[in-house]
Amino acid sequence: MFPLLKGFFIKKDASLDNFDNLINEINSLSNNAEVQELFVLSSAYSLVGFQKEESKIGQAGQTCSSFKFSEEIEKPSDCNFENGCLCLCTGKKPSTFNCSPENKAICIGLNYNIVNTKDNCGYLVIEGDSQNNLKIKKSADTLIITF
């Protein structure tokens, strides 16, 4: 019927499924519970967490345990300022991150401060093209994600 399309299909990036699984795991986790999950990112995406009542993370030149900021990362406008926000941002490195929905980023608002207690800055930033064992712990108002 459509000879040019025969055998052609679009492969979905596994990062999208991994992000969906992560959000489902967070939502089903009870307070003070902890879980571990393998999280794989392609080179097209990075994972970034934003805290409640913060409009950005980092600043130009700031060095954290696992990365260095080339510039601050703005909390996307579709994330409510009062909530924390977990984003699957486009770009592999902090200098190329784009967390805006116009750039195909996906952000989910959560009623938690999202932190990485193993990072000296406390920020959750996982660069693309990586595979990490995430340790996720949820309390009444904090979501701790370490790797």
Summarize pLDDT for 53-86 with one digit per residue, the tens. 999 999 989 999 878 888 899 999 889 999 999 9
pTM of the predicted structure, to 2 decimals:
0.88
The pLDDT assigned to 11 comes to 56
CA distance 47 to 22: 11
The pLDDT assigned to 5 comes to 47
For the stretch 10-41, pLDDT in tens is 457 899 999 999 999 999 999 999 999 999 99
The pair of three-digit structure tokens given for residue 113, joined into one six-digit string? 């401060």
CA distance 66 to 85: 20
* Residue 110 near residue 138, CB atoms below 8 Å: no
Quick one: pLDDT band at residue 135, thresholds 50, 70, 90? very high
Mean pLDDT of the region 94-107: 84
Residues in CB range of 115: below 8 A, 6 or more apart: 49, 51, 122, 123, 124, 142, 143, 144, 145
Q: What is the DSSP letter of 36?
A: E
* Residue 87 near residue 79, CB atoms below 8 Å: yes
Q: Give the start-to-end residue ranges of the domains of the chain.
A: 43-146
